């Protein structure tokens, strides 16, 4: 206590000394402007801190203009708004060591608050009504601080001295007078509000919390009702004399009132209410309100439910008059849709009765006064607006419907023209094309009328729009001139004052919601994202409480709308900050009591985070996957523990298969699919779930292939001569099985795929021809080819052609014969189709290679390099055609080269080494033919063949690095397609076997986090000497921020930045001190500047040390 008294005495002494100096200064300022009585009244009234009253204040226009110009100059001189806020914070922090204990909020957050608060105050200095609202709102936010006159003076002088030091001559005497006056006004308002309203607001907040958390106290309602019987008569008399009064009225009094307010309820109604209470006890204010409303006879007043929906927002923002007015505006629009009589006094009666019932132990006269005061404010705002929205909506609708095309184009152009004239800096933020700006103007006009029609929906849409503007980093001070410009344009287009008022009121409400949403959503994390600076992000998130650190990076909520800073960073291209955010979220931090890891938070907030990263920032996926691995730096017996936190990659919130594997396969990235995390969980899914089902499914195909081979190849060659009756029957049975089972199933699958692609318009164009998308897979193309060939075989089946002539006069006649004259005619075509079908059957069975990654990789390499072989064959065909046509020109040729056709056949045989040796003797006899064939052999067998070898080698080298990845992609595709057909019971058994809900040990005895799988890997595989867990001592409270990590800000850039700031601050302080001593109009400025300079120098020495 003694230290606090000393600090307070020190503040008083500083205040008395500086107050006199300030008075002289203000008088000197005022003496230079004696020509205006209004100026003397405006400035003179605020030469001291006025804490006795809180009224609207009108400052002279020239003083306001000078102060606003000085503020703009100060912002321009700073590198950014954040830097300006830091300068204000430093000036306030260094001005009075006795006040440093009040600075409990992190520096970066507090600097931003100082910046935004002063900016809001200065921007509305010319509007007394708006100025009072802004100051009142800020005053309610400072109720927990002991604001005193000496402290206000210290803060005022610190800010004024900072401006004097930063701007020098640009900080004119009028600007100084304006800042002194406005800061005196603000400080006095803070003191007045705290003295007059703090108790009421605290009562409202505490009782509202009690009403919503401890509503079970209503169980004692019968006892309270019995205790209140004696007071009922008195309450009834009061109702007869002066209507329903609130003071001294118990919940039982309110229960006994009907809708007219002067007739008591019947005993039957009481009994019914008691029965309802015994059946279902109200557990919240809303339920209690509905109960009391029904008992009091207001059950048919549906408008009460409308107010009740927004009442929580009103109570929670009782200290924010700006927001309270906004809520009342929206509520007035909603109530305007109600077709009936509205008596706001009825709501007050039910509300007070409900609060008395829910807060029976604490309720007293102060509670009655506080809640009555709140409702009177709300009722006054609503009463002012009652009846206006209906008239304004019709007037605005008439105006919009009357606009011609020329008028609309005029509106589009003039809105931006006037806005840019009012706020030239706004041009820097409108970078879209003119057509886009015109579209925005149309949407703005549409929003003004929709606000009247569907207020609730528009509030949601505008809040979502405001959150998007948070990411655009648009200053909120541009909204006011934009509204002014738009209203000026409407004024020139109509003489209907009601339409103009309707447009102004609606657009103002829209801008209020946007500004409020932007201000609430503009966290320091979002500001760091806009700069795309990893350093700024680390600084911003370092001030977050450890228990809410993940929430700061993943969610910003304003009302019912929310935005994800992480997703915004990804979608806006701020990949540096996105990378830093993912690393921060997936860093394991620990104190003595808890481990903090953002894995669960990421996947709970964004179940599709893998898909989002693959689509918008594929380079971030490895960062995400790396963060899911923890490796111990301690190796035991040559192995180390490794935890893979893959729970959310395997199962979703409902316990079903999650989709990350499917998304990774669709990305077709062979390197990403080989990441250790993906390898682990995809192999688990394959080996323990999908492999068995895949093999069982392919057994049918293999059996079909065996039957086909038996019927087409084996039975045909079992015996010499005509087929026996048993062979014919077996052959027909096998073919009937192929046609009846294999063909029908394959055909059904193809038709289903075609139908789905047609229904979903899934087509791709090849050479301009639309092809179903499912045919992009070679396997599906092969299956379609097999279906076509089997249909051809069915059409030309010799057994069917011989069905009418089985017992004819020919060798081999009998049941199911195929050697009748008609059958013999189609034998060649049938056998050719059968051969093609056999090749396709064997080609399709190659997908069994995925059972072994090595074999699958080899098959994929073969398919990848086969294109080089086709290039070789194409070049060979070109040489054969060109040489054959050239050689055919010669005379006296051998029979093998007489004609192009014979020449092509001979050259082809030479090219593949099948030309008979005896025919080379004939070639030697014709010299020119010998020369031509020799050149062909050199080009074909020497050049092209060696080139083919080189190409195959090069292609293999390129593909080899990724062949395992491609094999895993193929296996992953089959896994993701197979698991949906797995039974729920088997899947549940598999998930339970993983024990993902059990916590894993980090090291022996150190029980860590759940959601992972632990394996042991060789110590030499991934050696590490750094503990992946960042451990901290000190307090273990989740509300505390993490201590600064060692070496986090020790890079050279940070060191030079700090040194540069120290030098600049010291130089300016010394310069400000000198100028203050020489040219200041009062000694107070010099002493204050000297003091500030010495403090800055002291802090610089401490920081340098």
The DSSP annotation for 260-299 comes to TSSSBPPHHHHHHHHHHHHH----SHHHHHHHHHHHTT-T
pLDDT at 259 over 50: no
Query: Where does the pLDDT of residue 655 fall: very low under 50, low under 70, confident under 90, or very high at 90 and above?
Result: confident
pLDDT value, residue 246: 37
What average pLDDT does range 1014-1031 have in this prediction?
88
pLDDT at 942 over 50: yes
pLDDT value, residue 27: 38
| CB burial string 673-682: b at 16+ within 10 A, e below | bbbbbbebbb
Most confident of 20-24, 789-793, 805-809: 789-793
What average pLDDT does range 152-169 have in this prediction?
83
What average pLDDT does range 82-91 have in this prediction?
79
Torsion (CA) 1094, 1098, 1101, 1102 in degrees, nearest 10: -170
Q: How many residues make up the chain in this entry?
A: 1105
CB 68 within 8 A of CB 125: yes
C-alpha to C-alpha distance for 997 and 651, rounded to whole angstroms: 12
Residue 59: CA atoms inside 13 Å, Cβ hemisphere, count? 30
CB 845 within 8 A of CB 701: yes
pLDDT value, residue 892: 66
pLDDT value, residue 269: 43
Which residues pair with residue 642 across a beta bridge? Answer: 631, 1015
Say what percent of the chain tops pLDDT 70.
83
C-alpha to C-alpha distance for 152 and 190, rounded to whole angstroms: 9
| CB burial string 149-170: b at 16+ within 10 A, e below | bbbbbbbbbbbbbbbbbbbeee
pLDDT value, residue 1049: 55
Which residues pair with residue 630 across a beta bridge? Answer: 643
Would you state the structure tokens that stand for residue 389, as one six-digit string? 């929205």
Residue predicted with more confidence, 586 or 129: 586
Query: Where does the pLDDT of residue 251 fall: very low under 50, low under 70, confident under 90, or very high at 90 and above?
Result: very low
Of the candidates 1092, 1086, 1087, the one whose C-alpha atom is nearest the C-alpha of residue 1069 is 1092
pLDDT at 321 over 80: no
Residue 180: enclosing H or E segment and its boundaries?
helix 173-213
The mean-pLDDT minimum among 59-63, 714-718, 901-905, 987-991 falls in 714-718
pLDDT value, residue 43: 60
pLDDT value, residue 802: 86
Of the candidates 687, 589, 600, the one whose C-alpha atom is nearest the C-alpha of residue 649 is 600
CB 640 within 8 A of CB 1005: no
pLDDT value, residue 642: 93
Question: Could you tell me which residues come within 8 angstroms of residue 494 by beta carbon, excluding any fewer than 6 positions away?
Answer: 399, 500
Residue predicted with more confidence, 120 or 579: 579
pLDDT value, residue 602: 93
pLDDT value, residue 417: 92
656-678 per-position pLDDT tens digit: 889 999 999 999 888 899 999 99
CA angle 871, 873, 878 (to 5 degrees): 95
What average pLDDT does range 722-728 have in this prediction?
80
C-alpha to C-alpha distance for 628 and 626, rounded to whole angstroms: 5
pLDDT value, residue 216: 42
Would you state the structure tokens that stand for residue 32, as one six-digit string? 């230079």
CA distances in angstroms from 437 to 153, 445, 510, 518, 667, listed in the order given: 47, 13, 18, 21, 37
Of the candidates 587, 581, 600, the one whose C-alpha atom is nearest the C-alpha of residue 651 is 600
C-alpha to C-alpha distance for 1100 and 1062, rounded to whole angstroms: 6
Residue predicted with more confidence, 1049 or 752: 752
CA angle 832, 833, 838 (to 5 degrees): 100
In this structure, what are the phi and psi dihedrals at residue 636, rounded to the nearest 5 degrees? -125, 125
Query: Where does the pLDDT of residue 1 fall: very low under 50, low under 70, confident under 90, or very high at 90 and above?
Result: very low
**DSSP tag of 658:** P
Q: Determine how many CB atoms are found less than 10 A away from the CB of residue 702.
A: 13
What average pLDDT does range 724-740 have in this prediction?
87
Residue 97: CA atoms inside 13 Å, Cβ hemisphere, count? 9
The DSSP annotation for 21-75 comes to HHHHHHHHHHHTTTT-HHHHHHHHTTSS---S--------HHHHHHHHHHHHHHH
What's 960-1027 look like in SS3?
A: HHHHHHHHHHHHHHHHHHHHHHCCHHHHHHHHHHHCCCCCCECCCCCECCCCCEEEEEECCCCCCCCC
Which residues pair with residue 772 across a beta bridge? Answer: 763
pLDDT at 813 over 80: no
Of the candidates 218, 84, 172, 189, the one whose C-alpha atom is nearest the C-alpha of residue 128 is 189
What average pLDDT does range 617-631 have in this prediction?
90
What average pLDDT does range 1082-1095 have in this prediction?
38
What average pLDDT does range 625-651 have in this prediction?
91
Q: Determine how many CB atoms are found less than 10 A away from the CB of residue 270.
A: 16
pLDDT value, residue 522: 81
What average pLDDT does range 348-372 have in this prediction?
89
Residue for token pair 């209004």? 38
pLDDT value, residue 1035: 87
pLDDT value, residue 503: 92
Q: Determine how many CB atoms are found less than 10 A away from the CB of residue 482.
A: 20
869-882 per-position pLDDT tens digit: 888 888 989 999 99
C-alpha to C-alpha distance for 96 and 103, rounded to whole angstroms: 11
C-alpha to C-alpha distance for 959 and 508, rounded to whole angstroms: 63
What average pLDDT does range 821-841 have in this prediction?
88
C-alpha to C-alpha distance for 130 and 120, rounded to whole angstroms: 10
Of the candidates 880, 869, 873, the one whose C-alpha atom is nearest the C-alpha of residue 936 is 880
**DSSP tag of 96:** -
CA 211 centroid distance within chain: 34
């Amino acid at each position: 206590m003694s230290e606090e008294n000393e600090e307070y005495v020190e503040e008083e002494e500083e205040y008395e000394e500086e107050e006199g100096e300030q008075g002289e200064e203000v008088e000197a300022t005022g003496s230079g402007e004696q020509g205006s009585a209004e100026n003397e009244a405006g400035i003179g009234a605020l030469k001291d801190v006025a804490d006795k009253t809180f009224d609207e204040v009108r400052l002279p226009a020239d003083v306001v203009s000078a102060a606003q110009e000085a503020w703009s100059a100060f912002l321009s001189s700073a590198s950014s708004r954040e830097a300006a806020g830091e300068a204000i914070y430093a000036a306030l922090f260094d001005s009075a060591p006795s006040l440093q204990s009040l600075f409990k909020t992190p520096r970066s957050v507090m600097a931003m608050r100082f910046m935004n608060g002063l900016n809001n105050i200065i921007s509305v200095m010319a509007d007394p009504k708006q100025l009072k609202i802004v100051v009142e709102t800020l005053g309610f936010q400072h109720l927990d601080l002991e604001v005193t006159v000496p402290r206000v003076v210290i803060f005022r002088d610190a800010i004024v001295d900072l401006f004097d030091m930063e701007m020098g001559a640009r900080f004119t005497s009028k600007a100084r007078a304006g800042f002194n006056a406005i800061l005196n006004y603000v400080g006095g308002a803070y003191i007045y509000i705290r003295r007059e309203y703090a108790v009421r607001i605290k009562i409202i907040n505490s009782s509202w919390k009690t009403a919503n958390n401890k509503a079970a106290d209503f169980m004692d309602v019968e006892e309270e009702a019995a205790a209140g019987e004696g007071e009922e008569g008195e309450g009834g008399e009061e109702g007869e004399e002066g209507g329903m009064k609130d003071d001294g009225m118990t919940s039982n009094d309110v229960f006994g009132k009907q809708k007219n307010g002067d007739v008591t309820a019947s005993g039957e109604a009481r009994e019914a209410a008691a029965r309802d209470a015994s059946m279902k006890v109200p557990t919240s204010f809303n339920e209690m309100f509905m109960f009391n409303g029904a008992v009091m006879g207001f059950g048919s007043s549906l408008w009460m439910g409308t107010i009740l929906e927004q009442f929580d927002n009103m109570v929670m923002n009782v200290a924010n008059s700006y927001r309270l007015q906004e809520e009342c505006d929206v509520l007035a629009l909603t109530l305007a849709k109600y077709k009936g009589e509205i008596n706001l006094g009825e709501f007050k009666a039910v509300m007070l009765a409900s609060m008395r019932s829910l807060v029976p132990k604490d309720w007293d006269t102060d509670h009655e006064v506080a809640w009555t005061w709140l409702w009177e404010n709300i009722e006054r705002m609503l009463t002012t607006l009652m009846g206006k929205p209906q008239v304004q909506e019709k007037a605005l609708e008439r105006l919009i419907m009357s606009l011609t095309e020329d008028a609309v184009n005029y509106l589009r152009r003039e809105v931006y023209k006037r806005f840019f004239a009012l706020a030239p800096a706004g041009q820097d933020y409108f970078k879209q094309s003119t057509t886009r700006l015109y579209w925005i103007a149309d949407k703005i006009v549409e929003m003004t009328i929709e606000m009247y029609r569907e207020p609730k929906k528009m509030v949601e849409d505008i809040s979502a729009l405001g959150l998007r503007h948070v990411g655009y980093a648009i200053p909120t001070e541009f909204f006011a001139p934009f509204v002014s410009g738009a209203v000026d344009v409407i004024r020139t287009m109509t003489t209907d004052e009601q339409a103009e008022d309707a447009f102004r009121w609606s657009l103002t409400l829209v801008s209020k919601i946007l500004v409020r949403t932007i201000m609430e959503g503009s966290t320091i994390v979002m500001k760091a994202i806009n700069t795309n600076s990893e350093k700024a992000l680390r600084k911003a998130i370092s001030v977050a409480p450890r228990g809410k650190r993940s929430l700061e990076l993943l969610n910003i909520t304003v009302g019912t709308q929310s935005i994800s800073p992480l997703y915004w960073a990804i979608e806006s291209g701020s990949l540096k900050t996105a990378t830093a955010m993912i690393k921060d979220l997936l860093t394991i931090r620990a104190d003595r009591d808890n481990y903090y890891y953002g894995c669960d938070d990421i996947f709970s907030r964004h179940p599709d985070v893998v898909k989002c990263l693959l689509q918008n920032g594929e380079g971030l996926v490895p960062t995400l996957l790396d963060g899911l691995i923890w490796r111990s730096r301690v190796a035991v017996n040559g192995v180390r523990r490794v935890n893979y936190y893959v729970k959310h990659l395997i199962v979703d919130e409902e316990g079903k298969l999650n989709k990350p594997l499917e998304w990774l396969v669709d990305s077709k990235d062979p390197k990403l699919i080989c990441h250790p995390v993906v390898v682990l969980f995809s192999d688990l899914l394959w080996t323990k779930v999908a492999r068995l089902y895949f093999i069982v499914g392919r057994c049918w195909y293999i059996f079909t292939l065996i039957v086909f081979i038996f019927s087409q190849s084996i039975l045909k060659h079992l015996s010499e001569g005509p087929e026996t009756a048993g062979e014919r029957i077996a052959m027909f049975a096998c073919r009937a099985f192929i046609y009846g089972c294999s063909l029908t199933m394959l055909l059904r699958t193809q038709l289903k795929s075609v139908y789905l692609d047609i229904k979903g318009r899934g087509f791709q164009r090849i050479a301009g021809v639309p092809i179903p998308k499912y045919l992009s897979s070679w396997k599906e193309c092969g299956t379609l080819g097999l279906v076509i060939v089997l249909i051809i075989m069915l059409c030309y089946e010799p057994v069917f052609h011989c069905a009418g002539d089985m017992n004819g006069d020919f060798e081999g006649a009998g049941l199911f014969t195929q050697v009748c004259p008609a059958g013999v005619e189609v034998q060649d075509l049938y056998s050719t189709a059968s051969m093609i079908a056999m090749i396709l059957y064997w080609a399709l069975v190659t997908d069994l290679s995925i059972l072994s990654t090595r074999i699958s990789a080899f098959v994929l390499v073969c398919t990848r390099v086969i294109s080089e072989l086709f290039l070789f064959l194409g070049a060979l065909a070109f040489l054969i055609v060109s040489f054959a046509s050239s050689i055919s020109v010669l005379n006296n040729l051998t029979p093998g080269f007489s004609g192009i056709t014979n020449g092509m056949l001979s050259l082809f045989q030479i090219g593949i080494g099948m030309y008979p040796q005896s025919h080379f003797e004939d070639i030697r006899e014709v010299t020119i033919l010998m020369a031509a064939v020799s050149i062909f052999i050199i080009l074909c067998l020497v050049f092209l063949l060696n080139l083919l070898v080189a190409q195959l080698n090069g292609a293999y080298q390129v593909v080899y690095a990724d062949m395992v990845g491609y094999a895993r992609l193929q296996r992953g595709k089959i896994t993701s397609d197979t698991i949906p057909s797995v039974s729920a019971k088997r899947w549940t058994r598999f998930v339970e076997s993983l024990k993902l809900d059990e916590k894993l040990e980090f090291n022996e005895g150190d029980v860590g986090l759940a959601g992972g799988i632990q394996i042991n890997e060789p110590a030499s595989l991934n050696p590490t000497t750094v503990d992946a867990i960042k451990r901290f001592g000190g307090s273990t409270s989740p509300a505390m921020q993490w201590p600064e990590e060692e070496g986090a800000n020790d890079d050279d850039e940070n060191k030079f930045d700090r040194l540069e700031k120290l030098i600049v601050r010291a130089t300016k302080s010394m310069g400000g001190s000198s100028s203050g001593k020489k040219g200041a109009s009062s000694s107070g400025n010099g002493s204050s500047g000297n003091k500030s300079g010495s403090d800055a120098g002291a802090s610089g020495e401490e920081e340098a040390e």
